């Protein structure tokens, strides 16, 4: 529990409203994974022992450059992969041991959109989120419809319900995909690089919405991203990954150390602390100047 | 947008069944031998009240021993091919997939040719051998189409196409050794032909096989809707993707094998009927599967009626008719630009 | 309550009702078919007192032929010709699209092709007997006719000898026994005469050309090969297949003495040949260079009485020295010389 103790000490003043800690929801303990190479070659570790803890209403950002093991960690958390060592527990249950349906009732994963095979309406798409909660051969119940509508409302996309998925913009599609995840009524929301194709306005909007949802619906939200500024601004906790290794876990202020970030992201950076205690990241000058 | 309900599904299927019924009545009426509508209705009524002995012999023979079994066979084949096509389109993640893309029909044709060469005297050996050929191909393509232990859409497609080509080459080689009469029979078979009446026992087997196959695919209908939005997404929504893909693969292939074994490779039906049904009723597989069965039945009954009557008394093979009609429909669908 | 159940188990309900509908439908269809097959059988046996005879056809099937045979449908051109030759054409009520000899055969009601006859038409003609051949018609057609309780008699002939016997048997089955005997005797006599004349004559080495592109000839097991033998010819192609594809190189190596074409239209055949002799491969054949070709009527393809005419015609062309000159072949020889001169 030492990580959370540190957590509390440093940010004690920020968490003044909570008399006690919200319960731990997700416990990742020394989880690692390797894709087995062919033959007798040693396995290639895509993720080495990683540990962190996430609670209700918390936004955790898994931060790192490309190929740092972020997607593997997401798959481990979602239970799609079984950790080679260590464990991943959601409210006491190992995620990889749960059957897919039970998992889907608790964990909602939002990936970047895949191309849709056949024309689908947004409302139908969101209704699919209710699939884990019903028997396999059934039509949508009234309860399902209400939940789906609520999900759409929560992402501010109620007006898109009757539109075709292939006819709406990227940002709107992202909202629909999120709505489907919400319709699952999960306790853990996993988003894999949700801001990739969005402009800055849409990015901020998404993260603000996630914050709101985390608070109102008591989700635990885990966002995989490589966007330093967004992570700094919105995450309660940051897990910094680099080449499959977990380098640091903590609040943005704790994790955003200049030497550390420069090494991980291989870019000249400046860190400043903003008014609310959150770090601000700037790019420091360019290395090569045309003039010299 | 109203979510799908049982009532809506029943309504859709009901209307389609009405259309099917109309098609059947027309198919019974039309043919090389003219039968007037009143005669037909009177005869049908006589049968319904159990007075079949009073029918004039030719009418009874033509309507009930020739046309009706052919219509029933056509419906079974059309339904099987359409559902199989719909299933493959989801499994292979490709709207252009049809029941034959994985080589099942080539395997069946090879079985049929070998039967023709080896034992042409024994009746019913051709459909049995064709079905055996189909199942062997299904197994082979399954093992070729796996990646890391489970069916992968792209690998499966490639394995199927290569198998189809290889088997076709074998078929052509064998066809050069066939005697003339069998060769012509084979040509008809390859084109898709319903003119050979099937013994009732085989029809029953087919009917049962159809129900089992369609039923099995239908249990995965909701899962298929999810898989259509992405396999990874479906997995995270609780779908056992591996199991669903296996069920769809086996059921769709068996349906195709059954259909091809009895009637040859009738083209375009498995490809186009699902798309037309999607256009009319949406892509939800819980609707698509039943509508494809009925739609396929309607399509084949209509095509076969045309094949029997357009240049009567000569009969065109029904596969020629579906190809003739299928191409314009396909072009129309393309122009509407399915995404 | 039913509605409540269906709401909760919507899918299952849909599936089962679909199953039930399908089952009902299949049952109904089967009932209709079965009931009427049974009725058909009853009807069939009810046909009063009509005697019928059980005969064995050329392929060994037992056929119950109603007596007398008043209405016959032929499903092969050779059968049609035979029936005309037996004088039974008045009782022929239907034949195939390809039955073109004699000319009256073209006027008969048509039932479609030999490979895929229109069963409805056949049934509508209410035949007492349908006659097919093993070589041309399909097994499936015969099976289908059996299931419809239409008596079907199959002829088969692998040799010319068998063909003559087959004609005799068919004649007996269709109550034309006397004409049958007459035909058999006449054909046999002519063949014996031919055999006598060709005694001791070396058979000509021939290539029977069925098709030129690709080159197709005849196999040794066909009755056509047998006909060639009876005409004093020996096919240079020895193959077990009925219609073997032959490579032109092989033919050039074998250098047959004669090329045989079967085409009733002699002028057309000569024109085709004129075009052929320019082509590579063909022009290397001595038979082409020396204009040694025989054109015979395509009756050689049909196991019918006219086959013997064609055999005689071929024998005369191949061994013209033995036979008395006749107007027909002589004029053909003149035409050949005209072709060579071009």
Half-sphere exposure of C101 (CA within 13 A, CB side): 17
CB-based contact (8 Å) between A136 and chain B? yes
C119 CB neighbours in chain B (<8 A) are 66, 195, 197
The half-sphere exposure of B105 on its side-chain side, counting CA atoms within 13 A, is: 21
Predicted confidence band of residue A4 (pLDDT cuts 50, 70, 90) = very low
Q: Is residue B3 part of a domain?
A: no
C120 closest CB neighbour out of B6, B32, B177: B32
Residue C34 has pLDDT above 60, yes or no: no
Q: Quote the minimal CA–CA distance from B101 to chain C in Å.
A: 28
- B121 has a pLDDT exceeding 80: no
Judge whether A137 is closer than 8 Å to chain C, CB to CB. Answer: yes
Asked whether the beta carbons of A70 and A78 are under 8 A apart, the reply is no
Band of residue C153 on the pLDDT scale cut at 50, 70, 90:
very high
Contact status, residue A147 vs residue A130, Cβ threshold 8 Å: yes
What kind and span of H or E run contains C190? helix C177-197
Give me the residue from A103, A108, A137 closest to B222, CB to CB.
Answer: A137
Contact B306, B321 (CB under 8 A): yes
**Closest chain B C-alpha to A139 CA, distance in angstroms:** 6
Residue C165 CA to residue C58 CA, distance in Å, equals 10
CA dist C90 and C70 (Å) reads: 9
In chain C the domains, ranked by start, together with CATH numbers, are 52-185 (3.40.50.1980), 201-341 (3.40.50.1980)
Total length of chain C: 342
Query: Does residue B108 form part of some domain?
Result: yes
Best to test chain A binding among B223, B230, B236, B336 (most A CBs inside 10 Å): B236
What is d(CA B231, CA B238) in angstroms, rounded to the nearest whole number? Answer: 11
DSSP annotation string for B126-166: HHHHHHHHHHHHHHHHHHHTEETTEE-HHHHHHHHHHHHHH
Closest of C129, C93, C94, C85 to residue C113, by C-alpha: C94
Q: Look at A282-291, C106-115, C302-311 and tell me which has the smallest mean pLDDT.
A: A282-291
Interchain proximity A139–C11, CB inside 8 Å? yes
> H or E element: which one contains C130?
strand C129-133
8 Å CB contact of A137 and C15: yes
For residues A86-95, average pLDDT: 90
- Cβ-based contacts of B223 with chain A (< 8 Å): 136
Whole-number average pLDDT of chain A: 85
Sign of the alpha-carbon dihedral angle for A142, A144, A145, A146: positive
Q: How far is B124 from chain C (nearest CA, A)?
A: 9
Chain A residues whose beta carbon lies within 8 Å of the beta carbon of residue B9: 139
Tell how strand C233-235 and strand C204-209 pair up: parallel
A20-66 pLDDT, tens digit per residue, is 677 888 989 889 888 876 666 677 778 888 999 999 999 999 998 88
pLDDT at residue number C335: 47
C36, C115, C147: residue with CB nearest B185? C115
pLDDT at residue C302, rounded to an integer: 86
Residue C325 above 70 pLDDT? no
Is residue B6 assigned to a domain?
no
- Average pLDDT on A160-170 reads 89
Closest-CA distance of chain B to residue C135, Å: 7
Residue C5's pLDDT band (cuts 50, 70, 90): very low
Q: What is the mean pLDDT of chain B?
A: 86
Q: Is A138 on the interface with C (CB under 8 A)?
A: yes
Any B CB within 8 A of A36 CB: no
Instruction: Look at residues C208, C307, C203, C215 and name the one whose alpha carbon lies nearest to residue C262.
Output: C208
Q: How confident is the model at residue A289 (pLDDT cuts 50, 70, 90)?
A: low
Give the distance from residue B6's alpha carbon to the nearest chain A alpha carbon, in angstroms.
7
- Residue C238's Cβ-count burial label (10 Å; 0-12, 13-18, 19+) is exposed
B229 vs chain C: nearest CA distance in angstroms?
21
A76 and A83 in contact (C-beta within 8 Å)? yes
Which of C176, C157, C153, C173 has its CA nearest to residue C62? Answer: C153
Nearest residue of B to residue A78, measured between CA atoms = B236
Three-state DSSP class for B31? coil
How are beta strands C204-209 and C258-262 bridged, if at all?
A: parallel
Q: For helices B269-281 and B68-91, give the axis angle rounded to 10 degrees.
A: 80
Residue B257 lies in a domain: yes
Whether A202 has a pLDDT exceeding 60, the answer reads yes
Q: Do residues B192 and B322 make contact, with C-beta atoms less than 8 angstroms apart?
A: yes
Q: Which of B27-41, B138-152, C88-102, C187-201 is predicted with the least confidence, judged by mean pLDDT?
A: B27-41
Which CATH number fits the domain that encloses residue B143? 1.10.3470.10
Number of folded domains that form chain B: 1
* Residue C134 tokens, joined: 């093993």
Tokens at residue B155, please?
């690998």
The angle formed by the CA atoms of residues C259, C260 and C262, to the nearest 5 degrees, is 150
Computed over its alpha carbons, how large is the radius of gyration of chain A?
Answer: 20
Confidence of residue C338 (pLDDT cuts 50, 70, 90): very low
Instruction: Please name the member of B6, B237, B283 whose beta carbon is closest to the beta carbon of A131.
Output: B237
Q: Which chains touch C (3 or more CB pairs under 8 A)?
A: A, B
Q: Which residues of C touch B315 (CB under 8 A)?
A: 112, 116, 118
Nearest CA in chain B to A159: B1
Does the structure show a pLDDT above 70 at C328? no
Q: pLDDT band at B236, cuts 50/70/90?
A: very high
B259-304 residue pLDDT tens: 998 888 898 899 999 999 998 898 899 999 999 999 999 999 999 9
pLDDT band at A176 (very low <50, low <70, confident <90, very high): very high
Query: What SS3 state is found at B201?
Result: helix
Predicted complex ipTM exceeds 0.90: no
Closest residue of chain B to C28, computed from CA coordinates: B48
pLDDT band, very low/low/confident/very high, at A7 (cuts 50, 70, 90) = very low
CB proximity B181 to C under 8 Å:
yes
Using the Cβ of A128 and the Cβ atoms of chain B, whether some distance falls under 8 Å is answered with yes
Evaluate the CA torsion angle C256, C260, C266, C270 in order and state its sign: negative
Q: How many residues does chain A have?
A: 292
Contact in structure between C264 and C298 (CB atoms under 8 Å): yes
**How many of the other CB atoms lie within 10 Å of CB of B232?**
17
Determine the average pLDDT of the residues in B190-210: 83
Chain B adjacent subunits, 3+ CB pairs under 8 A:
A, C
C334 pLDDT exceeds 70?
no
Residue C223 is predicted with a pLDDT of 82
A128 and B238 within 8 Å at the Cβ level: the answer is no
Nearest to B251 by CA among B119, B130, B94, B135: B135
Alpha helix segments (H runs only) across B176-220: 180-191, 200-219
Query: What range does the domain containing B308 cover?
Result: 24-335
CB contact under 8 A, C12 and A141: no
For a pLDDT cut of 70, what percent of chain A falls above it?
88
Q: How confident is the model at residue C8 (pLDDT cuts 50, 70, 90)?
A: very low
Contact C304, C239 (CB under 8 A): no
Strands of C3-85 (E only): list them. 52-56, 62-66, 72-74
Lowest mean pLDDT among A267-271, B186-190, C99-103: B186-190
Q: How much is the pLDDT for A183?
A: 94
Residue B73's pLDDT is what? 92
Dihedral angle sign, alpha carbons of residues A100, A162, B2, B92: negative
Contact residues, chain A, for B228 at CB < 8 Å: 116-118, 120
Over residues C250-267, the pLDDT tens digits come to: 888 888 999 998 887 788
Give the C-alpha distances (Å, rounded to integers) separating C78 from A143, C99, C306.
76, 8, 9
Inside any domain, residue B86: yes
What rounded mean pLDDT belongs to chain C? 81
> Shortest CB distance from B230 goes to which of A114, A118, A139?
A114
Contact B219 A137 (CB under 8 A): yes
pLDDT, position C265: 79
Cα–Cα dist B167/A94, whole Å: 48
DSSP string, chain A: -HHHHHHHHHTTTTTTT-SSPPPEEEEEEEEEEEEPPSTTSPPEEEEEEEEEEEETT-EEEEE--TTSSHHHHHHHHHTSS--SEEEEEETTEEGGGS-HHHHHHHEEEEPSPPPPSS--BHHHHHHGGGGGGS-SS-PPPHHHHHHHHHHHHHTT-GGGTTSBGGGS-HHHHHHHHHHHHHHT--SEEEEESTTTT--HHHHHHHHHHHHHHHHHHT-EEEEEE--HHHHHHH-SEEEEEETTEEEEEE-HHHH--HHHHHHHHTS-EEEEE-TTS-EEEEE---S--S--
SS3 category, C262: strand
- CA-wise closest residue to C195 among C205, C185, C203, C183: C203
pLDDT above 70: percentage of residues in chain C: 80
Give contacts of C111 with chain B, Cβ < 8 Å.
Answer: 313
Q: How far apart are CA A224 and CA A70, in angstroms?
A: 7
* A104:B278 CB<8 A: no
Cβ-defined contact of B58 to C30 (cutoff 8 Å): no
Inside any domain, residue B46: yes
What is residue A136's predicted lDDT score, i.e. its pLDDT? 62
Q: What is the pLDDT of residue C50?
A: 64
Q: What percent of chain B has pLDDT over 70?
A: 93
Residues B304, B310, B315: CA angle, nearest 5 degrees: 60
Query: Is a pLDDT exceeding 90 seen at residue C114?
Result: no
- What average pLDDT score do residues C157-184 get? 91
In tens, the pLDDT along B41-78 reads 777 777 777 666 666 777 777 888 888 888 999 999 99
Report helix, strand or coil for C93: strand
Show Cβ contacts of residue A291 under 8 Å, excluding neighbours closer than 6 positions.
none
Give the residue-averaged pLDDT of C66-94.
93
**Closest CA of chain A from C16, distance in Å:** 12
Nearest residue to B315 (alpha-carbon basis) of B305, B325, B323 = B305
Residue A9 reports pLDDT greater than 60: no
- Measured in angstroms, the CA of B236 and the nearest CA of chain A are apart by 6
Q: How far is CA C311 from CA A169, B161, C48, C300, C334, in A?
A: 83, 51, 47, 7, 21
Q: Check CB contact under 8 Å for A137 and C11.
A: yes
Q: Which helix (H) or strand (E) holds C43?
A: helix C10-46
Chains touching chain A, criterion 3+ CB pairs below 8 Å = B, C
Instruction: Give domain status of residue B293, yes or no.
Output: yes
């Amino acid at each position: 529990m030492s990580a959370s103790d540190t957590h509390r000490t440093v940010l004690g003043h920020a968490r003044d409203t909570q008399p006690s800690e919200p319960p731990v929801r997700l416990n990742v303990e020394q989880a690692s994974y390797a894709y087995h190479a062919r033959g007798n070659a040693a396995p290639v570790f895509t993720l080495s022992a990683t540990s962190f803890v996430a609670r209700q209403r918390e936004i955790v950002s898994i931060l790192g450059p490309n190929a740092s093991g972020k997607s593997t960690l997401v798959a481990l958390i979602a239970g799609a992969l079984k950790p080679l060592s260590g464990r991943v527990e959601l409210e006491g249950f190992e995620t990889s041991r749960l059957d897919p349906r039970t998992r889907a009732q608790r964990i909602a994963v939002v990936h970047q959109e895949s191309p849709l095979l056949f024309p689908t309406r947004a409302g139908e798409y969101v209704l699919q989120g209710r699939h884990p909660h019903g028997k396999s051969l059934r039509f949508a119940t009234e309860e399902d419809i209400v939940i789906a509508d609520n999900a759409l409302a929560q992402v501010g996309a109620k007006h898109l319900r009757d539109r075709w998925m292939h006819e709406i913009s990227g940002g709107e599609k992202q909202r629909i995909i999120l709505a489907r995840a919400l319709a699952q009524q999960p306790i853990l929301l996993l988003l894999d690089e949700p801001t990739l194709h969005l402009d800055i306005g849409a990015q901020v909007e998404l993260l603000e919405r996630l914050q709101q949802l985390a608070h109102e619906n008591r989700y635990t939200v885990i966002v995989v991203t490589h966007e330093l500024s967004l992570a700094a601004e919105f995450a309660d906790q940051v897990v910094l990954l680099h080449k499959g290794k977990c380098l640091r876990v903590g609040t943005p202020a704790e994790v955003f150390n200049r030497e550390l970030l420069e090494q991980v992201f291989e870019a000249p950076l400046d860190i400043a602390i903003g008014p609310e205690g959150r770090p601000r990241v700037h790019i420091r000058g360019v290395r090569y100047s045309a003039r010299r | 947008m109203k979510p799908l309900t049982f009532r809506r599904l029943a309504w859709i299927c009901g209307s389609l069944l009405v259309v099917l019924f109309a098609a059947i009545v027309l198919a019974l009426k039309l043919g090389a031998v003219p039968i007037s509508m009143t005669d037909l209705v009177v005869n049908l009524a006589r049968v319904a009240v159990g007075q079949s002995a009073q029918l004039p012999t030719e009418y009874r023979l033509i309507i009930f021993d020739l046309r009706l079994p052919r219509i029933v066979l056509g419906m079974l084949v059309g339904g099987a091919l359409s559902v199989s096509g719909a299933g493959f389109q989801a499994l292979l993640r490709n709207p252009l997939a049809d029941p034959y893309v994985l080589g099942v029909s080539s395997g069946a044709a090879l079985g049929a040719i070998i039967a023709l060469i080896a034992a042409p005297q024994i009746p019913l050996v051709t459909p049995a051998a064709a079905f055996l050929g189909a199942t062997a191909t299904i197994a082979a393509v399954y093992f070729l189409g796996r990646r890391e232990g489970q069916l992968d859409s792209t690998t499966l497609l490639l394995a199927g196409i290569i198998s189809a080509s290889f088997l076709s080459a074998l078929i052509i080689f064998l066809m050069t050794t066939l005697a003339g009469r069998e060769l012509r029979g084979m040509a008809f078979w390859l084109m898709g032909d319903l003119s050979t009446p099937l013994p009732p026992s085989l029809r029953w087997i087919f009917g049962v096989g159809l129900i089992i196959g369609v039923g099995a695919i239908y249990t995965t209908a909701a899962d298929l809707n999810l898989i259509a939005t992405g396999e990874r997404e479906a997995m995270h929504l609780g779908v056992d993707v591996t199991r669903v893909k296996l069920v769809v693969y086996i059921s769709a292939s068996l349906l195709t094998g059954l259909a091809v074994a009895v009637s040859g490779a009738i083209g375009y039906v498995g490809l186009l009927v699902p798309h037309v049904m999607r256009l009319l009723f949406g892509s939800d597989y819980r609707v698509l599967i039943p509508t494809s069965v009925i739609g396929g039945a309607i399509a084949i009954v209509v095509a076969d009626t045309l094949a029997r009557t357009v240049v009567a008394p000569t009969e065109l093979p029904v596969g020629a008719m579906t190809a003739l009609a299928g191409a314009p429909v396909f072009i129309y669908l393309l122009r509407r630009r399915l995404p | 309550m039913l509605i409540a159940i269906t709401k909760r188990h919507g899918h299952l309900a849909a599936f089962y009702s679909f199953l039930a509908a399908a089952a009902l439908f299949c049952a109904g269809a089967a009932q209709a078919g079965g009931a009427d097959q049974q009725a058909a059988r009853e009807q069939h046996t009810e046909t009063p007192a009509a005697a019928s005879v059980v005969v064995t056809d050329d392929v060994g099937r037992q056929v119950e032929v109603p007596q007398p045979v008043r209405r016959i449908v032929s499903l092969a051109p050779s059968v049609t010709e035979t029936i005309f030759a037996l004088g039974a054409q008045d009782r022929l009520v239907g034949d195939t699209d390809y039955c073109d000899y004699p000319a009256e055969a073209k006027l008969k009601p048509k039932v479609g092709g030999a490979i895929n006859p229109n069963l409805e038409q056949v049934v509508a003609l209410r035949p007492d007997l349908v006659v097919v051949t093993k070589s041309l018609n399909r097994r499936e057609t015969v099976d289908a006719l059996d299931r419809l309780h239409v008596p079907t008699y199959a002829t088969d002939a692998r040799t010319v000898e068998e063909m003559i016997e087959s004609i005799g048997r068919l004649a007996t089955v269709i109550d034309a026994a006397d004409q049958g005997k007459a035909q058999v005797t006449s054909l046999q006599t002519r063949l014996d005469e031919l055999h006598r004349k060709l005694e001791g004559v070396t058979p000509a080495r021939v290539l029977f050309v069925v098709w030129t592109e690709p080159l197709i000839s005849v196999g040794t097991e066909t009755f056509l090969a047998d006909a060639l033998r009876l005409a004093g010819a020996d096919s240079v192609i020895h193959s077990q297949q009925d219609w073997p594809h032959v490579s032109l190189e092989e033919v050039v190596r074998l250098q047959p003495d004669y090329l045989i074409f079967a085409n009733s239209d002699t002028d057309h055949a000569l024109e085709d040949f004129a075009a052929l002799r320019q082509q590579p491969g063909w022009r290397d054949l001595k038979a082409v260079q020396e204009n040694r070709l025989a054109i015979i009527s395509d009756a050689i393809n049909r196991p019918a009485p006219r086959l013997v005419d064609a055999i005689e015609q071929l024998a005369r062309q191949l061994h013209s020295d033995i036979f008395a000159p006749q107007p027909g072949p002589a004029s053909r020889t003149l035409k050949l010389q005209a072709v060579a001169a071009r």
